[in-house]
Structure 1
């Protein structure tokens, strides 16, 4: 600069953690800063030069590669060849140099076991290449793993440096930080889970109704209330919890309220829950991987198709026996009541689930119960469940069964709001037997009966009342494991491609952990992939390969 570096300063940071924030000499026209490269953590460093008005005028990215073996898991098995349905024990350990000199050796790792042909992609692209390099850049560096983990050389460092000359840091722009009062985030910060809804008139739902909405949880004697706005909208929250909780909403409004007379609260309102409006994020750009062949992907697709075909053929051999009624001289009052409630199909369902035989009903959802019924398939995540009865498809190609609660036809959204404690039993009617029950009946029907009887549906639909669920933060469930000793599994083909998955394997202060799984009936080469984060946030990765004969 002609006038020197008067008022200028330089800032160097790693993922937002500032390492240098230093004013430069007023008299000199250039400045040299030296950083001890051997002591720096791996990652993308951002150096920014500011003028005397705190305006960024120049920026430069540079990358520090991880030390050899410093971010690697050691994954090992007892042997390299196994038979089908054989137990495999494996050990995941960290570099011993880190264990001996580091108190942050505890780590949380994710384990995946799948065919080697299913991994695809360029070699060595993993959690390390993303968190240490590509996640900080405006455009991805192709084949980052080959660059980062190759033997250290001047050529390698020059290649990475040339890439960074054409990339920008993607996390934030300095002008946004310099003018926070003018910054408007594209997506608002979510501090928890909210329940949003709307209250309208009971006679005409589209017209808004102002008033009070009360949220209660009778099981724990909890209640809170809020006011609606002029458009009838209300909101509860934020909440922080896992899984799902059942709540009851009560709406009230006051009509013709005057100072000189007592106002009466009226319940004749309609309540509805508004869907969550999630942000629409753009899809990530596709990166062409140099030298990547499609053959492994094709091999894995053929393996998956084979597994699906065998499973369908096996299920088609299962014979559903007809229900056999055993008539005795004395019929229990409960069974007599059930026959009266199911008279539309003669009290003879194709399948029945009695909740009295199901332990731990309070911890289950309605869809968890449906999964326990043979031939009923439930797909999709929480709030987006999709149900079908296997083998039932009508001519309009729809496979969705009809839903009934105490004889009244409802939609799947109503089923989502039901409490399992209120359900007595669930019947399944297959095929054309369900045609007379309602539209879509040719795809079968699921009939839910509550403990309170037919009046329960009327009670739940009373004016001003709405029973619903609040879906909490997702809690990862245990990966389903095929048990060859379970009834019906001895002869069932086990052609799973993902043999094992554990999203939260804990590595303690000893620096290693032992886990196990059972191989499937698939043969070939399988890979165990371990990747995770240490307590200080450093990513680790490791693999090993074994063969199933």
Structure 2
């Protein structure tokens, strides 16, 4: 059998291609040389279950979609937390460097968080060019240990929906069964033996087991079927001429429903795959009618993984069946799309298959022992090498978490392997995605093939690959952009060739940038990098050096994409898990006899800031600020007050001047430029604050600030005797990248009375988003346990420099 298949393989690909095949090859070769810069992103989180008030920690991996290698493309990653009501309740601007980034959410009451299922979503602006195909989505649970979770009860009634179209209809929030029947290759053809896969889910995508019988038009029983994994299965059928088929399905509550199978085609081609001697055998089948209508038909097979073609061939079909071995060695690991075209470039059949590779790597970690005492130090050693002992270049993140009495099922959530190699290429929810990559599941590859025959059959992301280079409406963001337009004060005429000066003041540092407006009055400052909140100072002046014009600013960050999250009814085992976790956390509180406020919780770790003489100002950071005391001395006039209040300033009815400058300072009263006569009319009792800016920050005032500025603020704006407003200058706070925190882990080897007196029942014991092996392929970390008798899960995820995703899991116990 094997020799015959090898012969067929050589025969199939030895004949010269037709003109169509050559044209197709040229277009594919062009695409391979210049593929779209498609990004994928994955978030590794410390846990999947959280209580209100805890922190959610994440590590972002952004890769080049075709190779899964880290991709230094976009610098801004939008990470959003979406509530069960489909509202974005928090949004982080995460900085990506070299394809890596990290951040966190504090799940505080102030966000309006309540128990339920939330969605964590991540994407770049560049990803929006491909709809939501590459947007990362993950569900997390937020619970309260002392209250009932908001879990929707399941409906007892079940309604079946037959669906043979490409897209799901929008369904109401009820318990329904959606049954899909999908012929292998795409179509049923008269007289051609075919596999038909099926899948049954509720309206939330949760699998439902079922069984049934296939009947023809004459109600003759044709075959029996039964789901074998997560509501999926398949059966064999050979459609007869002029027959239609339907299924009688028995639901979980023993109701009988009728579902029509796809219509049988009179002509066409099918594509099927079977495993023989651990080889994937591809079979092309047709019927005699098709063969007679198209004698010696030239068929072209294109085989692609993540949009890149790795195998192609054209053959003249002379019989109703042709088989050959798929050369798996030509493909990378992942989902491969096989598409069969006729000589008119029309796709006739399509099949997805998973190519698994045995990777030549060995990543592991070890602890010194499997049983620890409470608050004992844990030393963990990580080894990352290939089979020959050579060190791997890789980047990892690791979490150590309290199981809270639940035996963690790592199959039921996505990890970096299942996401990059499978789940990210199939639209829709994949139930238990890690099951298909867990070597302890012997039938996993057979079940993965069922998944590709059903869910992958209709929703494979890379089907749109030929159009991925079109309509690039969303730019790649290499940093923060501050942009806008300068217009005339009267009307909306653009101010061309205006100088725009920008000063950013952030954590005592300043950045000064200049730009000139174009013919449309546009200015733009690109690729800016800063964290936290900064003060932005903008000023504009015309070619004559006069402050003229009005700013119209663009939004700094892009608006979020539409939310499509629909909170779902939890399955029974998920509800049981939530209940167990809630009960365990509640019991910990009772067992240790502590109020919530005396627990050791997340600590925000920030570097000690060097004390500065500057204070925040409406226009940035003032070099000096004076605020009159309520019972302080009174001064006869404003000039005397300025001279006494502000060091190194000379003030008189003629001018106010810094001693370091020869010219007068700019004086603003409540934001309005003021002359000496107006200044002299202000009572000292109406002064609320005086600020002095004489450093780089004064650049925001343009040439008028060359000699520094004195800013006077009056009580209730009493100094604003003029309605004149300043349009050519702006001072406002702007938010940069998230000011990321460091995960705090206590050190019980040091004496810290306040900390040591607090009970340590942390659910995340350790989180480290950046672990890189040294030149020998090793890395070491250490941390201290909490003081609970429990099991601790260790979960390491990461990726190598050549794009191999890594997952390693282990556990140990803490016991007194």
TM-score class normalised by the smaller sequence: 0.5 to 0.7
User: What residue ranges of structure 2 are gaps of 5+ in the alignment?
Assistant: 1-289, 601-623, 634-686, 698-707, 720-724
**How far does residue 60 in structure 1 lie from its aligned partner after superposition?**
1.0
Find out whether 1:130 has 2:403 as its counterpart.
no
| CA distance in 1: counterparts of 2:632 and 2:454, whole angstroms | 74
Choose between structure 1 and 2 for higher RCO, CA contacts under 8 A separated by at least 6 residues: 1
| CA distance in 2: counterparts of 1:157 and 1:142, whole angstroms | 15
* 1:504 alignment partner, one of 721, 746, 770: 770
Q: What corresponds to 2:146 in structure 1?
A: none
Find out whether 1:78 has 2:363 as its counterpart.
no
Q: What corresponds to 2:92 in structure 1?
A: none
RMSD (Å) for aligned C-alpha atoms: 4.8
**How far does residue 112 in structure 1 lie from its aligned partner after superposition?**
0.7
From the two aligned structures, give the one with the greater strand fraction: 2
| CA distance in 2: counterparts of 1:179 and 1:512, whole angstroms | 40
Decide whether aligned partners of structure 1 residues 480 and 19 sit closer, same or farther in structure 2, where only a CA change above 3 A counts.
same
| CA distance in 2: counterparts of 1:407 and 1:495, whole angstroms | 49
Q: TM-score, normalised by structure 2?
A: 0.43
* 2:783 alignment partner, one of 509, 517, 520: 517
Residue aligned with 2:578, SS: helix
Residue aligned with 1:58, SS: strand
- 2:481–2:528: 8 Å Cα contact kept in structure 1? no
| CA distance in 1: counterparts of 2:731 and 2:296, whole angstroms | 67
| CA distance in 2: counterparts of 1:100 and 1:21, whole angstroms | 34
Find out whether 1:269 has 2:566 as its counterpart.
no
Q: What corresponds to 2:336 in structure 1?
A: 45
| CA distance in 2: counterparts of 1:122 and 1:27, whole angstroms | 51
Residue aligned with 1:197, SS: strand
Find out whether 1:490 has 2:490 as its counterpart.
no
| CA distance in 1: counterparts of 2:397 and 2:629, whole angstroms | 52
User: What residue ranges of structure 1 are gaps of 5+ in the alignment?
Assistant: 255-262, 316-337, 348-405, 409-417, 423-450
Q: What corresponds to 2:531 in structure 1?
A: 243
Residue aligned with 2:573, SS: coil
- 1:496–1:520: 8 Å Cα contact kept in structure 2? yes
| CA distance in 2: counterparts of 1:146 and 1:71, whole angstroms | 21
- 1:11–1:47: 8 Å Cα contact kept in structure 2? yes
Q: What corresponds to 2:313 in structure 1?
A: 22
Decide whether aligned partners of structure 1 residues 253 and 123 sit closer, same or farther in structure 2, where only a CA change above 3 A counts.
same
Residue aligned with 2:349, SS: strand
- 1:142–1:287: 8 Å Cα contact kept in structure 2? no
Q: How does 1:83-482 map to 2 (within 5 A)?
A: 83-94=373-384, 98-100=386-388, 105-117=392-404, 122-124=409-411, 125=413, 126-150=415-439, 155-168=443-456, 170-174=460-464, 177=466, 183-185=470-472, 187-199=474-486, 210-211=495-496, 212=498, 214-217=500-503, 223-227=513-517, 234-239=522-527, 241=529, 243=531, 248-252=537-541, 265-267=546-548, 269-270=550-551, 272=553, 274-283=555-564, 292-301=573-582, 310-312=595-597, 341=627, 343-344=629-630, 407=688, 455=712, 463-467=727-731, 477-482=741-746
Q: What corresponds to 1:57 in structure 2?
A: 348
Q: TM-score, normalised by structure 1?
A: 0.61
**How far does residue 523 in structure 1 lie from its aligned partner after superposition?**
3.9
Moved more, 160-169 or 466-475: 466-475
Decide whether aligned partners of structure 1 residues 247 and 177 sit closer, same or farther in structure 2, where only a CA change above 3 A counts.
same
**How far does residue 465 in structure 1 lie from its aligned partner after superposition?**
2.2
Residue aligned with 1:507, SS: coil
Q: What corresponds to 2:684 in structure 1?
A: none
- 1:200–1:209: 8 Å Cα contact kept in structure 2? yes
**How far does residue 529 in structure 1 lie from its aligned partner after superposition?**
0.9
1:207-244 Cα shifts (integer Å, max 9, x gaps):
676453513458788533142676x7x45243164536
- 1:483–1:489: 8 Å Cα contact kept in structure 2? no
Decide whether aligned partners of structure 1 residues 142 and 471 sit closer, same or farther in structure 2, where only a CA change above 3 A counts.
same
**How far does residue 501 in structure 1 lie from its aligned partner after superposition?**
0.7
- 2:495–2:549: 8 Å Cα contact kept in structure 1? no
Residue aligned with 2:410, SS: coil
- 2:406–2:581: 8 Å Cα contact kept in structure 1? no
* 1:9 alignment partner, one of 279, 296, 300: 300
**How far does residue 75 in structure 1 lie from its aligned partner after superposition?**
2.9
| CA distance in 2: counterparts of 1:157 and 1:483, whole angstroms | 45
Q: What corresponds to 1:541 in structure 2?
A: 807
| CA distance in 2: counterparts of 1:5 and 1:344, whole angstroms | 100
**How far does residue 111 in structure 1 lie from its aligned partner after superposition?**
0.5
Moved more, 242-251 or 135-144: 242-251
1:419-455 Cα shifts (integer Å, max 9, x gaps):
x998xxxxxxxxxxxxxxxxxxxxxxxxxxxx98854
Q: What corresponds to 1:532 in structure 2?
A: 798
- 1:494–1:520: 8 Å Cα contact kept in structure 2? yes
Q: What corresponds to 1:446 in structure 2?
A: none
**How far does residue 118 in structure 1 lie from its aligned partner after superposition?**
8.8
| CA distance in 2: counterparts of 1:476 and 1:462, whole angstroms | 36
| CA distance in 1: counterparts of 2:311 and 2:710, whole angstroms | 71
**How far does residue 107 in structure 1 lie from its aligned partner after superposition?**
1.6
Structure of greater Rg: 2
1:230-279 Cα shifts (integer Å, max 9, x gaps):
6x7x452431645367653212358xxxxxxxx67433635656352333
Decide whether aligned partners of structure 1 residues 453 and 216 sit closer, same or farther in structure 2, where only a CA change above 3 A counts.
closer
Count of residues paired in the alignment: 413
**How far does residue 20 in structure 1 lie from its aligned partner after superposition?**
0.7
| CA distance in 1: counterparts of 2:761 and 2:441, whole angstroms | 42
Decide whether aligned partners of structure 1 residues 544 and 512 sit closer, same or farther in structure 2, where only a CA change above 3 A counts.
same
**How far does residue 526 in structure 1 lie from its aligned partner after superposition?**
1.5
Residue aligned with 2:445, SS: helix
| CA distance in 2: counterparts of 1:513 and 1:26, whole angstroms | 57
| CA distance in 2: counterparts of 1:21 and 1:407, whole angstroms | 78
1:309-352 Cα shifts (integer Å, max 9, x gaps):
8352589xxxxxxxxxxxxxxxxxxxxxx9972524989xxxxx
| CA distance in 2: counterparts of 1:240 and 1:508, whole angstroms | 32
| CA distance in 1: counterparts of 2:599 and 2:499, whole angstroms | 52
Residue aligned with 2:763, SS: coil
- 1:8–1:23: 8 Å Cα contact kept in structure 2? yes
| CA distance in 2: counterparts of 1:285 and 1:532, whole angstroms | 29
| CA distance in 2: counterparts of 1:166 and 1:514, whole angstroms | 44
